[in-house]
């Protein structure tokens, strides 16, 4: 490699060409629009309500994605469906309104893509608050998202209903901070209950191949 | 080959200040990242550990240790050793040394700010790019200042024909800012939409390893192996092919982490093909450098282990990128094991090897303690083996369990716990080893030169004798 200029151009070109992967993908996905369903008379996915969008920032800032993914793989590839994480695979269109998609890369805890749309029963706000406050199994307690307040008069409406050793001292109540409230609002907004055309055929084909458990 | 420069050189004395600054700050980050990794590792099996404060969530600790390790230790040490190799092979004194010093100061300021930012909750959430967005421009500029010296050393080299080490360093110096600036632009300044961010982050993270850290480590290894063994590299005529395969194909492998994800399947298919093509690169590197094995001395011990880890890690990437493997290992500790094998076992161990070779030449003093070198070699090798095996087994267990819907998460946690405890022990062993290196480094700097520098370097293998 005697020719320095040629060497330099080679380096430059190599990386530029590899960036074509990104550009091609962007060509394919960058202009995805919401899907308008004539039957329902509205477009999907929904935009996140403001409080949930703020909750996503809390989710990102705390690093929740270090343990939880938000991507359900197709039926037959892993046990994502049978674990109840989502009835269909995640598709790119699910994320178009998310400023910071939290796909994640580790499953130390369950996938949360469809945590609010899970069947038969998804966790409600109260369950999520208690889970965040006390932790469970490998999930650490996030007590720092809650404040202990002295009860004067009526118990605050948002106070957690705790029993046993988790309960605060008499005369005190545990109330969620704003961070906890937005985070829970975000988690309650996570669902992929709507089937897009691109997510449908794969589900059906794979379900038939497996002998359709429905 | 042009590595027949004289062993004793005034050039080393000239480069001493800036390069020791880079190396010294790298070592501080190495120890700090070891402490952070230990904390993060404890949190995996004992979730109550430091759980009472928002600063110390597992997500933060993981981002902190990765950032301190990659942008603190590997970047500083890689730049120092890369520049040293480049100036030595170029046969000219390090030019723009002041730029390196200023760049190093600002780079380390940037890394410090990044860690503070991550603690405050500003991590980006992208693997190997957790740096808060506001410190990224500072780091880019600081990197540019350091790289000036490298560009001058390349363009001012005495011999027109260049050696493998020089290609690798120059490529690393130039490609990182390319990657880093484009990633900043497309992720943060004008962010692309939705899952495109994951595609870019994957492209960047893979590039950081294959186009920046691995070339720096290979440059070091290609320099030090013929130096210490005193032999011509076998199959050297293929070295340039291995280089171009890595550079051309390397960044295409980023999509393997998105297998089964919400992106078009061609992205991961392309990555799987690219991973297999890279095996050619690993094969040639192995053929070129295998002389490091079975050669005594601390420098070659680290280099041989690093080489093995690099080659095995590359082949493991190719295997686990195949979909039937990926369905098990994806989203598990197994991916952490692979990352540690590549970054710690491969890159960092190769850096250690050339660091033990370079510091006596840069300072003009022999290492203060041969016992500490031996201790570091033993603990580092033991620690990496223990870490990779324990995380690998934990990941495989976790992956198999995740495929069985009946197994609950508390059950998975219980099944992986013994292996995660072992991983914590491995991090502790590594930390002890790295403390030995730091103590030895400081003692060497503080010691007065007892032997004239010229006498020190008459034997090419002074480390071999002391270790």
What does the pLDDT read at residue B463?
46
In a domain, A2, yes or no: no
In a domain, A95, yes or no: yes
Which positions 88-107 of A are in contact with B (Cβ < 8 Å)?
89-92, 94-107
Distance of alpha carbon B218 from alpha carbon B215, whole angstroms: 5
The helix, strand and coil proportions of chain B, stated in percent and rounded to the nearest 5, come to 80, 0, 20
Distance of alpha carbon A124 from alpha carbon A82, whole angstroms: 21
Structure-block tokens of residue B278: 């890279």
In a domain, B2, yes or no: no
Q: Number of Cβ pairs closer than 8 Å across A and B? A: 204
Band of residue A210 on the pLDDT scale cut at 50, 70, 90: low
How far B417 CA sits from the closest chain A CA (Å)? 10
pLDDT digits (tens, 9 = 90+) for B348-362: 999 999 999 999 999
Domain count, chain B: 1
Which of A4, A30, A71 has the CB atom closest to B261's CB atom?
A: A71
Lowest mean pLDDT: which of B115-129, B152-166, B265-279, B318-332?
Answer: B152-166
CB–CB contact B247 A10 (8 Å):
yes
What does the pLDDT read at residue B16?
87
In a domain, A11, yes or no: no
CB–CB contact B54 A25 (8 Å):
no
Averaged pLDDT, B171-178 = 94
What does the pLDDT read at residue B226?
93
Is B63 a residue whose pLDDT tops 90?
A: yes
Location of structure tokens 């359900």: A72
Residue B460 belongs to a domain with what CATH number? 1.20.210.10
Which positions 113-152 of A are in contact with B (Cβ < 8 Å)?
135-145
In a domain, B25, yes or no: yes
**Which residue range forms the structural domain that includes residue B103?**
15-466
CB–CB contact A92 B44 (8 Å):
no
Distance of alpha carbon B70 from alpha carbon B76, whole angstroms: 9
Among B457, B454, B442, B456, which Cα is nearest to B24's? Answer: B442
pLDDT digits (tens, 9 = 90+) for B399-432: 999 999 999 999 999 999 999 999 999 999 999 9
In a domain, A22, yes or no: no
CB–CB contact A22 B327 (8 Å):
no
Lowest mean pLDDT: which of B42-56, B300-314, B415-429, B430-444?
Answer: B42-56
**Which residue range forms the structural domain that includes residue A70?**
38-209
What does the pLDDT read at residue B452?
53
In a domain, A144, yes or no: yes
Is B187 a residue whose pLDDT tops 70?
A: yes
**Distance set, CA A162 to CA A127, A130, A172, A185, B140 (Å):** 11, 8, 11, 20, 50
In a domain, B9, yes or no: no
What does the pLDDT read at residue A211?
55
Contact present, B146 and B110 (Cβ < 8 Å): no
Contact present, B372 and B440 (Cβ < 8 Å): yes
SS3 B104: helix
Averaged pLDDT, B184-196 = 92
What does the pLDDT read at residue A120?
75
In a domain, B429, yes or no: yes
Which of B179, B198, B203 has the CB atom closest to A21's CB atom?
A: B203
**Distance set, CA A33 to CA A96, B160, B236, B280 (Å):** 8, 55, 53, 42
Q: What is the average pLDDT score of chain B?
A: 90
Is B138 a residue whose pLDDT tops 90?
A: yes
How far B261 CA sits from the closest chain A CA (Å)? 6
Domain count, chain A: 1
End-to-end CA distance of chain B: 28
Distance of alpha carbon B13 from alpha carbon B93, whole angstroms: 9
Is B167 a residue whose pLDDT tops 50?
A: yes
Which of the listed ranges A44-53, A87-96, B337-346, B441-450 does the model predict with the highest average pLDDT? B337-346
Contact present, B121 and A64 (Cβ < 8 Å): no
Residue A113 belongs to a domain with what CATH number? 1.10.760.10
Is B462 a residue whose pLDDT tops 50?
A: no
In a domain, B370, yes or no: yes
In a domain, A88, yes or no: yes
In a domain, A19, yes or no: no
**Distance set, CA B225 to CA A141, B302, B345, B357 (Å):** 51, 11, 17, 11
How far B332 CA sits from the closest chain A CA (Å)? 6
Location of structure tokens 């430091």: B50
Please give the residue of chain B at the shortest CA–CA distance from A84: B405
In a domain, A103, yes or no: yes
Band of residue A187 on the pLDDT scale cut at 50, 70, 90: very high
The helix, strand and coil proportions of chain A, stated in percent and rounded to the nearest 5, come to 40, 10, 50
What does the pLDDT read at residue A206?
54
pLDDT digits (tens, 9 = 90+) for B15-33: 888 999 999 999 999 999 9
Lowest mean pLDDT: which of B69-73, B201-205, B253-257, B266-270?
Answer: B253-257
Averaged pLDDT, B210-228 = 95
């Amino acid at each position: 490699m005697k020719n320095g200029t040629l060497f330099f151009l080679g380096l430059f070109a190599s990386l530029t060409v590899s960036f074509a992967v990104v550009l091609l993908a962007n060509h394919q996905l960058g202009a995805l629009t919401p899907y308008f369903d004539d039957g329902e008379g509205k477009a999907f996915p929904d935009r996140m309500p403001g409080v949930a969008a703020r909750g996503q920032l809390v989710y990102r800032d705390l690093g929740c994605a270090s343990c939880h993914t938000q991507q359900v793989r197709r039926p037959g590839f892993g046990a994502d469906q049978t674990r109840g994480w989502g009835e269909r695979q995640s598709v790119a269109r699910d994320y178009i309104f998310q400023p910071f998609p939290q796909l994640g890369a580790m499953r130390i805890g369950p996938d949360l893509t469809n945590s609010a749309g899970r069947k038969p029963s998804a966790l409600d706000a109260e369950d999520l608050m208690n889970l965040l406050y006390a932790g469970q199994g490998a999930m650490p307690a996030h007590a720092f998202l809650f404040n202990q307040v002295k009860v004067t008069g009526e118990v605050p409406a948002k106070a957690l209903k705790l029993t046993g050793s988790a309960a605060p001292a008499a005369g005190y109540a545990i109330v969620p901070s704003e961070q906890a409230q937005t985070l829970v609002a975000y988690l309650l907004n996570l669902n992929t209950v709507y089937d897009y055309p691109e997510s449908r055929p794969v589900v059906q084909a794979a379900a038939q191949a497996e002998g359709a458990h429905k | 080959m042009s590595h027949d420069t004289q062993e004793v050189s005034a050039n080393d004395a000239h480069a001493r200040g800036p390069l020791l600054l880079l190396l010294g700050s790298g070592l501080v980050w190495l120890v700090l990242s070891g402490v952070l990794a230990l904390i993060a590792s404890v949190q995996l099996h004992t979730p109550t550990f430091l759980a009472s404060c928002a600063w110390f969530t597992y997500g933060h600790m993981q981002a902190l240790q990765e950032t301190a390790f990659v942008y603190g230790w590997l970047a500083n040490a890689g730049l120092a050793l890369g520049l040293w190799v480049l100036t030595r092979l170029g046969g000219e004194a390090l030019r723009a040394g002041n730029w390196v010093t200023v760049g190093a100061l600002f780079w380390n300021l940037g890394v410090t700010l990044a860690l503070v930012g991550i603690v405050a909750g500003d991590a980006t959430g992208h693997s190997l790019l957790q740096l808060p967005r506001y410190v990224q421009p500072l780091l880019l500029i600081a990197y540019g200042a350091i790289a000036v010296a490298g560009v001058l050393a390349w363009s001012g080299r005495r011999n027109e024909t260049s050696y493998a080490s020089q290609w690798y360093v120059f490529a690393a110096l130039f490609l990182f800012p390319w990657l880093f600036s484009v990633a900043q632009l497309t992720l943060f300044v004008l962010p692309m939409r939705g899952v495109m961010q994951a595609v870019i982050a994957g492209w960047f993270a893979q590039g950081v390893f294959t186009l920046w850290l691995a070339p720096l480590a290979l440059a070091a290894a290609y320099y030090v192996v013929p130096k210490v063994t005193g032999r011509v590299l076998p199959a050297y005529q293929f070295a340039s092919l291995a280089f171009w395969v890595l550079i051309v194909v390397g960044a295409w492998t980023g999509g393997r982490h998105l297998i089964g994800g919400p992106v078009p399947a061609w992205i991961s298919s392309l990555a799987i093909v690219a991973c297999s093509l890279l095996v050619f690169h690993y094969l040639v590197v192995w053929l070129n450098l295998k002389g490091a094995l079975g050669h005594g001395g601390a420098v070659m011990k680290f280099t041989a282990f690093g080489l093995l880890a690099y080659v095995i890690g590359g082949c493991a990437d190719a295997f686990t990128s195949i979909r039937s493997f990926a369905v098990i290992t994806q989203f598990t500790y197994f991916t952490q094991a692979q990352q540690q094998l590549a970054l710690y076992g491969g890159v960092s161990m190769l850096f250690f090897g050339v660091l033990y070779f370079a510091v006596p030449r840069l300072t003009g003093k022999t290492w203060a303690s041969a016992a500490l070198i031996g201790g570091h070699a033993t603990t580092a090798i033991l620690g990496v083996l223990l870490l990779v095996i324990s995380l690998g087994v934990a990941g495989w267990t976790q992956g198999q369990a995740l495929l069985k819907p009946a197994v609950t998460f508390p059950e998975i946690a219980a099944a992986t716990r013994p292996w995660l405890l072992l991983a914590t022990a491995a991090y502790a062993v590594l930390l002890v080893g790295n403390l030995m290196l730091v103590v030895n480094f400081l003692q060497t700097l503080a010691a007065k030169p007892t032997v004239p520098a010229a006498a020190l370097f008459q034997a090419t293998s002074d480390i071999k004798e002391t270790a």
